[in-house]
Amino acid sequence: MPNGANRIVPGRAKPTMTSPLPGAEPGLYLDANATEALRPEAREAVLAAFDLVGNPASVHADGRAARKLLESARAALAARLGARPENVVFCAGATEANAMAIHGLAGGGAIVIGATEHDAVRAAAPAALIAPVDAAGRLDQTAFAALLAAHRPALACVMAANNETGVLNDIAAIAALCAAQGTRLHVDAVQAAGRVADPDYLAQGASSVATSAHKLGGPKGVGALLLAPEAASAFAPLIRGGGQERGRRGGTHNLPGIAGFAAALDAAHATTCPDPRLAALRDAIEAGARDCGARIAGAGAPRLPNTTCLVLPGLAAEAQVIALDLDGIRVSAGSACSSGKAASSHVLAAMGLGDLAGNAIRVSLPWNAPDDAPARFLAAYRRLAARALRKSAHVSTSAA
Q: One of 91, 157, 309, 337 is an active-site residue; which one?
A: 337
Compute the radius of gyration of the chain from its Cα atoms.
Answer: 22
Task: Classify strands 223-227 and 88-91 as parallel, antiparallel or unpaired.
Answer: antiparallel
Residue 1, burial from CB neighbour count under 10 angstroms (0-12, 13-18, 19+) = exposed
Say whether 178 is catalytic.
no
Residue ranges in 269-345 assigned as alpha helix (H): 276-291, 317-326
**d(Cα 80, Cα 223) in Å, to the nearest integer?**
14
CB-based contact 101:87 (threshold 8 Å)? no
Backbone angles phi and psi of 270, in degrees to 5: -75, -25
**d(Cα 195, Cα 268) in Å, to the nearest integer?**
7
Closest by alpha carbon to 56, among 241, 245, 227, 237? Answer: 245
DSSP 97-156: HHHHHHHHHHTT--EEEETT--HHHHHH-TT-EEE-B-TTS-B-HHHHHHHHHHH--SEE
Edge-to-edge strand list for the sheet holding 360-364: 295-296, 307-311, 360-364
Alpha carbon 52 to its chain's center: 29
Which amino acid does the sequence have at 111?
A: I
Edge-to-edge strand list for the sheet holding 223-227: 88-91, 223-227, 208-212, 184-188, 155-159, 111-114, 129-131
CB-based contact 267:37 (threshold 8 Å)? no
CB-based contact 377:391 (threshold 8 Å)? no
Backbone angles phi and psi of 161, in degrees to 5: -140, 130
Catalytic machinery residues: 337
